[in-house]
Amino acid sequence: MPLLFGFSGLLVCQFLGELLVKTTHLPVPGPVAGMVIMLVALMIIGRVPDSVRLASEGLLKYLTLLYVPAGVGVMVHFGLIGNNFAAIAATLVVSTIVTQLATLYCLAWMKRRNGQQFQQEEEA
């Protein structure tokens, strides 16, 4: 029964994410919004319920199976990928650099922000 409650919780969060994206027209996939909803709920609760942990660990065991369709897609569209290889490679390189820079700036901003908080706490 705990497994059923865990899967129900995961599916409810995914449904709420899909509903949120459809109603607000957010440019984010519904399951990603559902994960954010689950994260907020777990932060409010302060722990991960055993039922959610059980369902999540069961899903994570088979996570590698989700890569099979992507691998098949690459094999099926190999010619198309080959024709557009330069554009794909450039996009991958540029997006990786942009992601790393965004992460760097976010980390630097958070360190400055937390450093200011720590200084205020020490002064008090």
Instruction: Please tell me the number of Cα atoms within 13 Å of 13 on its side-chain side.
Output: 18
What's the pLDDT tens digit per position in 26-52? 999 999 999 999 999 999 999 999 999
Do 61 and 16 contact (CB within 8 A), yes or no? no
Delimit the domains of the chain by residue range. 1-61, 67-124
DSSP state of 84: T
Q: What is the dihedral of CA 48, 54, 58, 61, to 10 degrees?
A: 60
More confident position, 64 or 103: 103
DSSP state of 77: T
Helical segments of the chain, H only: 2-24, 30-45, 50-61, 67-76, 78-83, 85-123
What's the pLDDT tens digit per position in 49-101? 999 999 999 888 888 888 888 888 889 999 999 999 999 999 999 999 999 99
By 3-state DSSP, what share of the chain in percent is helix, strand and coil, each rounded to 5? 90, 0, 10
